[in-house]
Amino acid sequence: MKNWQKLKQKPDLWQQFFVREQVLDEIRSFFKNQEFHEVETPILTASPGTEPYLDLFATDLMIQTPSGNKKKQLYLLTSPELAMKKLIVAGLPKVFQLCKSFRNHEGLSTLHNPEFTILEWYRAESDYTEIMTDCENLIQSLVKNIHQRDSLVYQGKTYQLTSPWPRLAVKEAFLKYAGINEQSLLDRELLVKVALKKGYQQAEESSWEELYHQIFLNEIEPILATFDQPVFLYDYPLALAALSKKKAGDECFAERFELYIGGIELANAFSELTDPKEQRQRAMADMQQRGQLAKDTFPIDEDYIKALELGLPPTGGIALGVDRLVLLLADVKSIQEILFFPIEEVI
């Protein structure tokens, strides 16, 4: 049965769906009270983010001209971050956006819909630690205003929200929960040896990134699910920096964090990379890797590099999955229970 039919049959269900509306309202007032500007940037773009493993929805823009039709390859966004950071360069120091983003080929799961609602916010003259504080304040205020509580109750478990939330460095997590020291973590050959010893039989055929994620998914993510507070996993190995800048004083790591609540990855944040040269190098390397992985390749966003050349101030920024946030506040197991029309209904 489709969700709209269930709603017609069981009107009590509306309450669970109305949580989204409350969450969106509360997010807007949270940021507006702090003088953030809400912006809208395009969903259709010629140069989406370059993350090597993301699959895109591609489409054609058709333009009629006197000499016939012109066609341009466009994509649906995977995240609005580049456009938002251009607005920081243009002079808006605090911006947020609530919009749809799109990721193809992710597989169907209780935490994924290919079209999803994303919340991004950026603060000039700040870094990822200030964004951590924003996360604490935002979620505390959402839970307080929607449920009149200081703690989040999700699937029978209570998560304390009092600040500060635990902060766990990636290297600390690997040492503590997987027994892997920093030297082994960062070196593929050493990591292969450790992985073989642990019983990952096909470690020798694995790239560093595959080993990292496989060990993370098997040995660390399940531990994050046992915390009774939200937890920030921070300072990622440089190979996973994406658009975060190198850590001051330790260039093997990057100033990036992910926020987990109840084992669910809710958000991904950076101290934004501001160096145009390094930005270009990373984008080119990503594009080369995309080619090797047989994924769409496209021109990198030169306009964004120009903006960095003009000067992006030190900035902290984040992307947060709103559907997952609604799932936590509605206390349901799958996002299909809080989307009116989940993708499963059309396939």
Report in angstroms how near the CB of residue 153 gets to another protein at its nearest: 25
CA distance 270 to 263: 20
| CB-nearer residue toward another protein: 109 or 226 | 109
First to last CA, the chain: 13
CA distance 210 to 203: 9
| CB-nearer residue toward another protein: 5 or 158 | 5
- In terms of residues, how long is the chain? 347
Report in angstroms how near the CB of residue 309 gets to another protein at its nearest: 28
Report in angstroms how near the CB of residue 341 gets to another protein at its nearest: 22
Evaluate whether 113 touches 323 at the Cβ level (below 8 Å): yes
Amino acid letter for position 102? F
Report in angstroms how near the CB of residue 198 gets to another protein at its nearest: 10
| CB-nearer residue toward another protein: 158 or 202 | 202
Report in angstroms how near the CB of residue 89 gets to another protein at its nearest: 26
| CB-nearer residue toward another protein: 95 or 243 | 243
Torsion of CA 106, 326, 117, 82, to 10 degrees: -100
| CB-nearer residue toward another protein: 44 or 196 | 196
DSSP 90: H
CA distance 208 to 192: 8
What does residue 168 show for φ and ψ, rounded to 5 degrees?
A: -125, 115
User: How would you class 121 by CB atoms within 10 Å of its CB: exposed for 0-12, middle for 13-18, buried for 19 or more?
Assistant: buried
Report in angstroms how near the CB of residue 202 gets to another protein at its nearest: 5
| CB-nearer residue toward another protein: 19 or 220 | 220
CA distance 219 to 194: 13
Binding residues for another protein (CB under 8 A):
51, 53-54, 103, 105-109, 199, 201-202, 206-207, 209-210, 212-214, 217-218, 222, 240, 242
Q: Could you tell me the CA-to-CA distances from 138 to 47, 132, 161, 299 in Å, in that order?
A: 31, 10, 11, 36
What does residue 4 show for φ and ψ, rounded to 5 degrees?
A: -65, -30
| CB-nearer residue toward another protein: 110 or 160 | 110
Report in angstroms how near the CB of residue 311 gets to another protein at its nearest: 29
CA distance 122 to 36: 9
| CB-nearer residue toward another protein: 35 or 205 | 205
| CB-nearer residue toward another protein: 49 or 230 | 49
Report in angstroms how near the CB of residue 209 gets to another protein at its nearest: 6
CA distance 220 to 66: 60
Report in angstroms how near the CB of residue 320 gets to another protein at its nearest: 15
- What sections of the chain are H helices per DSSP? 3-9, 14-32, 81-90, 128-147, 170-178, 182-186, 188-198, 208-215, 221-224, 276-292, 302-311, 322-330
Q: Is the peptide bond before 164 cis (omega within 30 degrees of 0)?
A: yes
